[in-house]
Amino acid sequence: MSATIIEGTGGDRIAVQEHGFPIVCSTWVGSPSVRAVEEYFRWLDGMLARVQREGGALVNITDGGLAGVPGADVRRLIAEKTKELDPARASRGFHSISVIESPLIRGVMNALAWLHGDMKNDIVSSRREAIENAIAWLRATGTTAPADVLRALTPRPISAR
């Protein structure tokens, strides 16, 4: 259950896991800083480049269960960087799944997606559900996930301090 830790500037961190490739997972801890978000999207760009080189598809799972509320500057940066992913999504070789444990927040996010029609990712309640959905999505694209990916990625590789 190895992970690379991206350290932010305010005690925040993001644990990124690529050993389940083509399913990759990030666990966000604390209120994300600009530095952590920039490093995270550099890492994700590297994963997309790998898919482009090797073929197949990529599922990015973002676990926000330990995350804090980002500031306005970080929310803007996340929105900009997420919009830059649109060409990858349009190619049908990239899919995003967010883990939001709170039923209230998950409901709000689903309502916003329904109202705006521009939500670019699935929202689920657990890492296990996210990984199961990722496996099914990959299967539909003709890409195979590693046999042990559910066992390997289900536990969080990091905890809140």
pTM of the model: 0.90
Residue with tokens 């209230």: 104
Parent domain of 72: 4-153
Nearest to 95 by CA among 131, 146, 149, 54: 131
Query: What is the rounded CA–CA span in Å between residue 32 and residue 72?
Result: 11
**pLDDT of res. 120:** 67
Number of folded domains that form the chain: 1
- Within-domain flag for 135: yes
Q: What is the pLDDT along the chain (161 residues), one digit of tens a residue?
A: 589 999 999 999 999 999 999 999 999 999 999 999 999 999 999 999 999 899 889 999 999 889 988 889 998 898 889 888 888 877 778 999 989 887 777 676 666 666 555 556 788 999 999 999 999 999 999 999 999 999 999 999 988 66
48 in Cβ contact with 40 (< 8 Å): no
- Within-domain flag for 161: no
Query: What is the rounded CA–CA span in Å between residue 62 and residue 101?
Result: 12
**pLDDT of res. 100:** 86
Copy the structure tokens of residue 136.
């099914």
- Within-domain flag for 81: yes
61 in Cβ contact with 23 (< 8 Å): yes
What CATH number does residue 139 fall under? 3.30.750.24
